Structure 1
Amino acid sequence: MGSGNYRRAIRDDYNVNCDVAREALSARIDGEREPVPAARVDEHLEGCAECRAWREGVAAQAAALRGLASPAPVAAVTAGSSRRVRGPLAGIGWQRCALLVVGLAQSAVGAAQAVGLQLGLHTGPHTGGGHLLNESTAWTLAIGLAMVAAALRPVLAAGLAAVLSAFTVVLAGYVVADALAEAVTPERVMSHLPILLGAVFAALVWRHAASSPPSPDHAQRQLEIDLPPNASHGRRRGHLWPTDGSAA
């Protein structure tokens, strides 16, 4: 059969109007089988400017949607996030900055005592002498380093806040009693100020860390865990039983 006879046979068997042509073009763009022969649709396009414009618009929209759904943008976002530096100070807030500064100040007080500055501490022959200064220096340095560690790792702030709060209450009682008895110098009283500030800022860091949402990495790790049916993410307690318990 010649090409002219073939085209006439198609024209006679299929009546392609704009609705049929656009349905066939939509299937063609989606990679599906067209409801009418492609040659008959192309013939309709030759004489219909509206359908040609419709095809160009739909093809552009489909290309844009395929571009959004392709893995390339996702890979670009992943690569960009992987280049971020996530050090111990990433996303640090003012509470952690303040605790870090106070921790460094407390460490400086301990370092000053370590090199021989007494900072108002009485070390007479009946008070233990140099050993009392050494004990105070060790405790001062330890507290300062703990503040710095809690500023870098907020998970440590809870324990530090509890210790410093209790120590501040007890220390305040002794400072008041010694001040009334004129047994402490103003210089020594001021050296305890970092302890008080550390207790406050450690509690603020602990509260801020407890109220903050989990990091995206932590949430992603939870999503990657396969859980049994009716189970949820989180920590459960009291669900383990001893193997030698009574069956009753």
Structure 2
Amino acid sequence: MEKQGLSVVTEGSLAVVTLTNPDRRNAQTPALWRALAAVGRDLPGDIRAVLLCAEGASFSAGLDRRMFPGGGGIPGEQDLAGLAGAGDEELDGAIASFQEAFTWWRRPDLITVAAVQGHAVGAGFQLALACDLRVCADDAQFSMRETALGLVPDLAGTKPLTELVGYARALEICVTGRWVGAQEAVAMGLATLAVPREDLDGAARDLVAALLAAPRDAVIETKALLAGAAARTYDEQRAAERAAQARRLRDLAGLGE
């Protein structure tokens, strides 16, 4: 993983995942995505929270420019032109494999927090969106640049972005590709809070500690209730609350299965 610009350190029930390629502003490659997908598959069962961090001035500058036509390519990887020449099934499978790096962060048994500083562009923005929560340094700037490059955001970021800020704002952010600063991100619900750069790690860890204070099973049930709320009717949500509470009451009383 170190060769791919990634490190994973476990601290009790917390896993700290760090992007470690600051010289390239933590630009992302298919190899990094494979490594991130492997992290999700291999997390120990006692991990309750994941903190995503990045070394250097930027969280992630997005897709490594070597992947673009004329960028020089990355040894052993297909660039975007090569992907474009693949058949429908192969191309769909390739993009699906890339998305695996971005999808496990919202598993019901985990709470995930991204600590974002500097630029979070394109794939970097989508990686931050993959997490349940985001804490920003006051210099953080988000931008979804794919549409401006003739592409679309395809790394599982469009749904959480729309859920967080609404369709109209998500459309405006994606199509213009403009910068969203830390304070605006907090105001629109994209981030939980913004802090001075030197306080980012401490603020993110304080949030993780608060999230870990509640009993694990109650957190899992609550996360599932909230995650599914948008797809349920009001009555369906009330029924889901009753079922979840029944499970919790019986568990606390020692009557669970």
Higher strand share: 2
- The TM-score with structure 2 as length reference comes to 0.21
Higher helix share: 1
Larger radius of gyration: 1
